[in-house]
Amino acid sequence: MRKPLVIGNWKMNGSRRSIAQVLDGIEPLGRQSGVEVVVCPPFVYLAEVAPRTSAVGLRIGAQHVSEYESGAYTGEVGAAMLADIGCDYVLIGHSERRALFGDGKRVAGQLAATLRAGLKPVLCLGEDAEQRQLGETRSVLLSQLAAAGLVGGRETEQLAGLVVAYEPVWAIGTGNAASPDDAQQAHRWIREALGALGGEVPILYGGSVMAENVAELMVQPDVDGVLVGGASLRVGEFTAICALAAKA
208 lies in the binding site for ligand 13P (CB under 6 A): yes
248 lies in the binding site for ligand 13P (CB under 6 A): no
Q: Is 96 a catalytic residue?
A: no
Of positions 117, 123, 172, 223, contacts ligand 13P by CB under 6 A: 172
User: Which of 117, 116, 56, 37 is closest to 85 using CA atoms?
Assistant: 117
How far is residue 64's CA from residue 44's CA, in Å, rounded to a whole number? Answer: 12
> 3-state secondary structure string, 124-164?
EECCCHHHHHCCCHHHHHHHHHHHCCCCCCCCHHHHCCCEE
Of positions 41, 93, 207, 225, contacts ligand 13P by CB under 6 A: 207
Given 36, 64, 67, 94, which residue is catalytic? 94
One-letter amino acid identity for 215? A
Of positions 197, 228, 242, 244, contacts ligand 13P by CB under 6 A: 228
Name residue 37's beta-bridge partners: 6
Q: Is 155 a catalytic residue?
A: no
> 3-state secondary structure string, 98-110?
HHHHCHHHCHHHH
Interactions with ligand 13P, residue window 85-104 (CB under 6 A): 94
Interactions with ligand 13P, residue window 131-170 (CB under 6 A): 167
Hey, which residues are catalytic here?
A: 94, 167
Give the footprint of ligand 13P on this chain (CB under 6 A).
Answer: 9, 94, 167, 172-173, 206-209, 227-231
